[in-house]
């Protein structure tokens, strides 16, 4: 294992350092041995997932009072980078739970809601999902068709959510225990009003539509369509004020994008290590591959691009508040550069390994397939380009620092 103390970019505290070592050790012993099989068989490893609760990772950003580890965005980045250096698919399930559901609840839920659900979500007894996307709506998220209408002490929820990570926990279609659902509750001056509801397993009208099979990558996480048909959700499951969820949706998207960028770092780092080792050991024309200029180009360019992305991701993480909005332009920016970097680096690693790179046992083909999702999920790269240029061009005299 590399000695991170010597070269880490952000001068980690002892706690960050210990976290990285703990996760790296867990990855080596428990995550790596199951990664290839879970990818091949499209299995979400729930038993392994629950062990993340014992390590304090499932509620990594949650206050200790609710069973969490009370750590910051940097810690979340470290955990995602380490897990993804071995199994990005498994890490995506972790992200959907700990960032999209659990952190959202910790930041935006009421005291009663936090006391009720956070301890179980932090221990791993409950598995969470976040349902924003729909069959006909992704990037244009405020155009969602799912509605919730108040009827006395309940809301009547109707609609379908698509591509939901952890939407089902297994082949039988067992639903997630806790789903953070966004729905439209009205309009003001032609703009949709979005509200958040907590839907629990067993509520009548909530079911898994279908498990989405045969994904290109991220096959160690389950993805499903969720159906809400006259699902009666108690008013006590509304998060915050009715119609006021766009702010917390956008704020949590910043952390989602940052941790997806961190996953890209894990993929790239592992790919570089694999291509480097192979280039040193494999010979062609009487020399090891690392003597060929084109191979040197692959290795050197990958390393430099990885380091540049890592600087950006860790810089954004260091400045990110879990409570306040404000880092949108750079969480988009870090994800924009890191995801494409990871895909390109994994691609070069496959190229350096030649035929062996095309085979599962040598890992890089799985990383390559997994990396593609990061350019799509949590906002497509085109959405990041749109957001960044929209924010920059609001002010023609914007000073770039």
Kindly tell me which residue out of 67, 175, 209, 377 binds ligand FAD, with binding defined by CB under 6 A.
377
| DSSP H helical ranges for 55-100 | 73-84, 88-95
As a whole number of angstroms, the distance between CA 73 and CA 258 comes to 8
Q: Is 38 in the site for ligand FAD (CB under 6 A)?
A: no
Residue 340 touching ligand FAD (CB under 6 A): no
Please say which residue, 79 or 99, places its beta carbon nearer to ligand FAD: 99
Cβ at position 331, least distance to ligand FAD in Å: 15
Q: How far is CA 191 from CA 139, 185, 239, 243, 298, in A?
A: 16, 11, 20, 11, 48
The site for ligand FAD, by CB under 6 A, has a size of 22
Measure the CA–CA gap between 269 and 290, rounded to whole angstroms. 18
For the record, the structure tokens of 292 come out as 């060929």
Q: Which helix (H) or strand (E) covers residue 207, if one does? A: strand 206-211
131 binds ligand FAD (CB under 6 A): yes
Q: In this chain, which of 126, 132, 346, 367 binds ligand FAD, going by CB under 6 A?
A: 132
**From 42, 82, 254, 256, active-site residue:** 256
Give me the least distance between CB of 386 and ligand FAD, in Å please.
5
Task: Report, in Å, the least distance between residue 218 CB and ligand FAD.
Answer: 5
Least distance between ligand FAD and beta carbon 132 (Å)? 3
Indicate whether 339 belongs to the interface with ligand FAD (CB under 6 A). Answer: no
> How many Å apart are CA 265 and CA 271, to the nearest integer?
10
Per-residue x/- track, 62-101, ligand FAD (CB under 6 A): ----------------------------------x-----
x/- track of binding to ligand FAD for residues 94-113 (CB under 6 A)? --x-----------------
Q: Under the criterion CB under 6 A, does residue 12 sit at the interface with ligand FAD? A: no
Regarding 49 and contact with ligand FAD (CB under 6 A), the answer is: no
Q: Which is nearer to ligand FAD, 20 or 219 (CB)?
A: 219
Q: Which residues contact 399 (CB under 8 A, 6 or more apart)?
A: none
Show contacts with ligand FAD in window 145-164 (CB under 6 A). 163-164
- Tell me the closest approach of the beta carbon of residue 300 to ligand FAD, in angstroms: 31
Tell me how far apart the alpha carbons of residues 306 and 269 are, in angstroms, rounded to a whole number.
7
Provide the strand spans (E) within 256-326: 283-284, 287-288
Burial 225-257 (b: 16+ CB within 10 A, else e): bbbbeebebeeebbbeebbebbebbebbbbbbb
Select from 15, 139, 236, 247 the one that contacts ligand FAD (CB under 6 A): 139
256 catalytic per annotation: yes
User: Shortest Cβ contact with ligand FAD: which residue?
Assistant: 138
The whole-angstrom separation of Cα 345 and Cα 306 is 8
Return the number of other C-beta atoms located less than 10 Å from residue 345's C-beta.
Answer: 31
Two structure tokens written together for 92: 């995506």
Site residues, ligand FAD (CB under 6 A) = 96, 130-133, 138-139, 163-165, 215, 218, 223, 373, 376-380, 382-383, 386
Residues involved in catalysis: 256
């Amino acid at each position: 294992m590399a000695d991170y103390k010597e070269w880490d970019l952000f001068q980690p505290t002892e706690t960050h350092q210990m976290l990285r070592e703990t996760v790296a050790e867990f990855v080596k012993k428990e995550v790596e041995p199951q990664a290839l099989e879970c990818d091949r068989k499209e299995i979400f490893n729930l038993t392994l997932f629950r062990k993340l609760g014992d390590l304090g990772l499932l509620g990594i950003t949650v206050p200790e009072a609710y069973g969490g580890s009370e750590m910051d965005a940097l810690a979340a980045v470290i955990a995602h980078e380490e897990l993804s250096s071995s199994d990005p698919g498994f890490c995506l399930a972790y992200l959907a739970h700990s960032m999209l559901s659990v952190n959202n609840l910790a930041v935006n839920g009421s005291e009663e809601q936090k006391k009720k659900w956070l301890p179980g979500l932090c221990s791993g007894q409950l598995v969470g999902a976040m349902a924003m996307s729909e069959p006909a709506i992704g990037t244009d998220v405020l155009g969602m068709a799912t509605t919730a209408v108040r009827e006395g002490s309940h809301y009547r929820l109707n609609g379908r959510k698509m591509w939901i990570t952890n939407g089902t926990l297994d082949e039988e279609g067992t639903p997630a225990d806790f789903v953070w659902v966004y729905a439209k509750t009205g309009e003001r001056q032609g703009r949709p009003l979005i509200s958040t509801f907590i839907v629990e397993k067993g509520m009548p009208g909530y079911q898994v539509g279908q498990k989405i099979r045969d994904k290109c990558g991220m096959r160690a996480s389950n993805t499903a369509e969720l159906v809400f048909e006259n699902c009666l959700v108690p008013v006590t499951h509304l998060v915050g004020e009715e119609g006021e969820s766009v702010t917390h949706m956008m704020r949590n998207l910043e952390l989602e994008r940052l941790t997806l960028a961190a996953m890209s770092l894990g993929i790239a780092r592992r790919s570089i290590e694999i291509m480097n080792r192979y280039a040193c050991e494999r010979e062609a024309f009487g020399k090891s591959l690392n003597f060929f200029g084109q191979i040197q180009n692959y290795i050197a360019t990958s390393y430099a691009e990885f380091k540049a992305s890592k600087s950006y991701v860790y810089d954004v993480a260091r400045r990110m508040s879990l409570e306040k909005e404000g880092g949108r332009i750079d969480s988009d920016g870090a994800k924009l550069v890191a995801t494409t970097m990871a895909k390109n680096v994994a691609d070069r690693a496959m190229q350096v390994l030649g035929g062996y790179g095309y085979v599962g046992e040598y890992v890089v083909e799985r990383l390559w397939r997994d990396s593609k999702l990061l350019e799509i999920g949590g906002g497509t790269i085109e959405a990041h380009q749109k957001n960044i240029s929209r924010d920059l061009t609001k002010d023609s005299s914007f000073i770039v620092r």
